[in-house]
């Protein structure tokens, strides 16, 4: 036996199903966002020489990675429009604040944004570590050979890249993987 529904209720049923689909999608998206905020990304352990990279900082001064050879350096490649880049900045700033007196530095290399946008981002996020400008994508495409943002590379005091991340970094991951490199004797 088939039950016939009046034609006028069919649009209401479809509308109700649409609302259920939207609510379910919104829930799944919110779950995905909250799981991303945990930054499950772990670094890959690598061992290769750091590139000889020279760029301008936000004040127009030429800076080079070679000038940081006695420090542990976390090079972070990022952009102002990149959601995971924005999400990881407080963790990078916090870790830098904790370890800067131990010979550690974050060098955030912006990937092609206009200088005024970078300066506003630095102000908005209260960044105190060095920020370099890369308007021609030298760092991503030539020096570090990646197109992924954010990407980070940890360089030890001897100039060897030891860790490589693709994706956002949490404070927990920094504590777990970078702190031991900072504590190594030169």
Domain shared by 33 and 54, yes or no: no
Q: Domain count of the chain? A: 2
Which regions in the chain score pLDDT beneath 50?
A: 18, 21, 24-37
Domain shared by 94 and 150, yes or no: yes
Domain shared by 15 and 72, yes or no: no
Domain shared by 134 and 84, yes or no: yes
Structural domain range at position 25: 10-39
Indicate the pairing of strand 104-110 with strand 131-133: parallel
User: In the chain, at which residue ranges do the beta strands (DSSP E only) sit?
Assistant: 44-49, 54-57, 62-64, 72-78, 104-110, 131-133, 151-155, 160-166
Q: How far apart are CA 186 and CA 72, in angstroms?
A: 10
Is 4 part of a structural domain of the chain?
A: no
**pLDDT of the residue at 150:** 97
Exposed, middle or buried: residue 48 (CB in 10 Å: 0-12, 13-18, 19+)? exposed
**pLDDT of the residue at 149:** 96
**pLDDT of the residue at 20:** 56
Percent of the chain residues topping a pLDDT of 70:
78
Domain shared by 54 and 87, yes or no: yes
CB 140 within 8 A of CB 113: no
Domain shared by 18 and 103, yes or no: no
Domain shared by 67 and 136, yes or no: yes
Q: Residue 141 has which token pair?
A: 């495409």
**pLDDT of the residue at 29:** 47
Q: How far apart are CA 182 and CA 186, in angstroms?
A: 9
**CATH at 136:** 3.40.30.10
pLDDT in tens, 58-97: 999 999 999 999 999 999 999 999 999 999 999 999 999 9
Domain shared by 24 and 65, yes or no: no
Q: Is residue 64 classed as helix, strand or coil in its secondary structure?
A: strand
Domain shared by 102 and 160, yes or no: yes
Domain shared by 149 and 63, yes or no: yes
Q: What is the pTM of this model?
A: 0.79
CB 134 within 8 A of CB 108: no
Domain shared by 19 and 94, yes or no: no
**pLDDT of the residue at 6:** 57
């Amino acid at each position: 036996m088939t039950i016939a529904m009046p034609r006028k209720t069919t649009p209401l049923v479809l509308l109700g199903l649409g609302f259920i689909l939207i609510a379910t999608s919104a829930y799944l998206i919110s779950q995905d966002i909250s799981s991303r905020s945990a930054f499950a990304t772990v670094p890959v352990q690598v061992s290769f020489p750091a590139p000889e990279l020279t760029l301008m900082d936000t004040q127009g001064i030429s800076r080079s990675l070679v000038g940081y050879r006695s420090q542990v350096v976390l090079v972070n490649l990022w952009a102002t429009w990149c959601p995971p880049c924005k999400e990881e900045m407080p963790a990078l700033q916090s870790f830098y604040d904790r370890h800067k007196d131990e010979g550690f530095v974050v060098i955030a290399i912006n990937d092609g944004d206009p200088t005024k946008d970078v300066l506003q981002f630095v102000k908005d996020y209260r960044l105190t570590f060095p920020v370099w400008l890369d308007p021609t994508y030298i760092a991503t495409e030539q020096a570090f050979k990646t197109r992924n943002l954010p990407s980070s590379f940890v360089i030890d005091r001897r100039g060897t890249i030891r860790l490589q991340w693709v994706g956002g970094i949490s404070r927990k991951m920094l504590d777990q993987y970078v702190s031991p490199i900072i504590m190594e004797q030169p």
